[in-house]
Amino acid sequence: MKIRSIKNLASGIIFLAIAAVFWTGSFAMPIGTAARMGPGYFPQVLSVLLALLGAGIVASSLYVEDSMPAAFHWRGLAFIIGAAVLFGVLLKPLGIVPALGATILITTMASPNFRPATALVLAVGLVGFVWIVFVEALHLPWVAFGPWLGGY
Partner 1 sequence: MDIFSNLALGFGTALSFQNLLYCFVGVAIGTFIGVLPGLGPTATVAILLPLTFGLEPVSALIMLSGIYYGAQYGGSTTAILINLPGEASSVVTAIDGYQLARQGRAGAALATAALGSFFAGCVATLLLALFSPPLAAVALKFGSPEYFALVVLGLVASVALASGSVMKALAMVVLGLLLGLVGQDLYTGTMRYTYGQSQLIEGLDFVAIAMGVFGLGEVIRNLEQPGQRSIIVNKIEGLMLTLRDLKQIAKPVLRGTMLGSALGVLPGGGAMLASFASYMLEKRIARNPERFGKGAIEGVAGPESANNAGAQTSFVPMLTLGIPTNAVMALMVGALIVVGVTPGPNIIKAQPALFWGVIASMWIGNLMLVILNLPLIGLWVRLLRVPYHLLYPAIVTFCCIGAYSLANHVFDVFVMAGFGLVGYVLVKLDCEPAPLLLGFILGPMLEEHLRRAMLMARGDWTVFFTNPISGALLCVAFVALVLVLLPSISSARQEAFVEE
Residue 49 Cα to chain centre, angstroms: 24
* Shortest Å distance, C-beta 150 to partner 1: 20
- Residue 61 interacting with partner 1 (CB under 8 A): no
- Residue 83 interacting with partner 1 (CB under 8 A): yes
Q: How far apart are CA 152 and CA 142, in angstroms?
A: 11
3-class DSSP assignment, residue 54:
helix
The b-or-e profile of 25-44 (16+ CB within 10 A means b, else e) is ebeeeebeeeeeeeebbebb
Contact (Cβ atoms closer than 8 angstroms) between residue 119 and residue 96: no
End-to-end Cα distance, the chain: 63
Residue at 56: amino acid letter: G
How many Å is the Cα radius of gyration of the chain? 24
- Residue 22 interacting with partner 1 (CB under 8 A): yes
> In this complex, which beta carbon is closest to partner 1, that of residue 98 or of residue 103?
103
- Residue 103 interacting with partner 1 (CB under 8 A): yes
Cross-strand pairs, 37: 32
> In this complex, which beta carbon is closest to partner 1, that of residue 79 or of residue 150?
79
- Residue 97 interacting with partner 1 (CB under 8 A): no
- Residue 10 interacting with partner 1 (CB under 8 A): yes
Residues making contact with partner 1 (CB under 8 A):
7-8, 10-11, 14-15, 18, 22, 25, 29-30, 33-39, 41-43, 46-47, 49-50, 53-54, 56-57, 60, 64, 66, 69-70, 72-73, 75-77, 80-81, 83-85, 87-89, 91-92, 100, 103-104, 107-108, 110-114, 118, 122-123, 126, 130, 134, 138, 140-141
